Chains A and B, each alone.
Chain A
Amino acid sequence: MATKAEVLDFIRIYADKMAEHRQELTDLDQAIGDGDHGINMSRGFKAVMEKLPTVEDKSIDEILKSVGMTLVSTVGGASGPLYGTAFMKAGMATKGKEALADEDVIKALDEAVGGIQFRGKAEKGEKTILDSMIPAIDAIKACINEGKTMEAALIEAEKAAWAGVEYTKTIIATKGRASYLGERSIGHQDPGATSMAYAFQALNEVAQKGR
């Protein structure tokens, strides 16, 4: 069961990570994109943190939607509409929930990944956010189906997300600016998959705190 306090904790931890890894994400993006992913994500989540005190008393779905709305107007690059849509869809999926059961968390993640696929018109294997996000969600589902706890599932999810990040080094980008590089994108780690892996790292950290 994830409480509202844990949802807020996740947002704060993820925002800290985006500030902390700003240069790393930007360096990754400089190699294969327009070199602004870290700058954009940290700017967006800085704005999220400024807005958060005004919405933290609201319901989980309103908090998530507010994060999404803030991101689409402050990130600037493609990650704005993508992460923004993900948070908004997660918000819609949790409407009316005071706390999130395991199935609610899975539903929110499914809606979020569906939103990213719809918005970016991408699939797994195209060197994008999805290459860490889809394996991470699959790992959660597999663990929960085996009867494991969400805390245990999120450990596996983070591992799967980083494995997905490693996988992006081996494939050609066919979406976004990196696609202009074609085969030259091979060998480079995808910045979007990396920022998404940090989201699962943040979820994992929140879960382990609650043990």
Chain B
Amino acid sequence: MVGIVVVSHSQKIAEGAVELARQMAADAKIAAAGGMADGGIGTDVAKIQAGIEAVQTGDGVVVLVDLGSAVMSSEMAIEMLDDGSNVKIVDAPIVEGTIFGAVEASIGSSLAEVIEVLAGAKSYKKF
């Protein structure tokens, strides 16, 4: 199953997005990698790397980010993996993307399919 990692400057946002997604896809492999080790605001390369490793089954991982250093820290975390070739950062809204991605991954979709759904999440109309 494709794994999902949620990277936000806020631990609460990351955990909240994961909580929402689990309501829709209880068995999805999702990790929250928000905030710093002490729970403070920021992004932490080691925490992101641990999140990726926790949800990587070999089928690939998508990383959702909020902004700024979340992108750079995620890039670094992927570079530090032994093999980060099937770990992709996607440009999608973090809450909607986590939910859509979790649902798509939990039905057994491939990494490419999950990424395609997440690309659509950016243009998803709420009303």
Contacts and interface: CB of A to CB of B under 8 A. Distances in A.
B76 A77 contact: no
- Tell me if A's interface is mostly helix, strand, loop or mixed: helix
A27 B72 CA distance: 24
Interface stretch (A14-22, A78-86, A94-102): A78-86
A78 B72 contact: yes
B42 interface: yes
A176 B68 CA distance: 6
A184 B56 CA distance: 44
Interface residues of B, number: 18
B42 A81 contact: no
A81 B46 CA distance: 11
Interface bracket on A: 10 to 19
Contacts of B46: 72-73
Contact of B72 (A36, A40, A81, A177): A81
Contacts, number: 56
Most chain B Cβ neighbours within 10 Å, of A75, A85, A120? A75
B47 A177 contact: no
- Tell me if B's interface is mostly helix, strand, loop or mixed: loop
Contact of B44 (A73, A78, A120): A73
A99 B72 CA distance: 31
Contact of B43 (A76, A120, A176): A76
A81 B69 contact: yes
B76 A85 contact: yes
Nearest to B42: A76
B24 interface: no
Interface in A59-80: 72-80
A177 B68 contact: yes
Interface string B25-36: 000000000001
A148 interface: no
A80 B68 contact: no
A124 interface: no
A200 to B, nearest CB: 23
A119 interface: yes
B69 A78 contact: yes
Contacts of A76: 9, 36, 40-44, 69
A35 to B, nearest CB: 11
A81 B45 contact: yes
B98 interface: no
B37 A120 contact: no
A74 B76 contact: no
A80 B45 contact: yes
Most chain A Cβ neighbours within 10 Å, of B41, B43, B68, B72? B72
A8 B73 CA distance: 26
Most chain B Cβ neighbours within 10 Å, of A36, A75, A81? A81
A84 B75 CA distance: 13
A120 B46 CA distance: 19
A72 B76 contact: yes
A75 B42 contact: yes
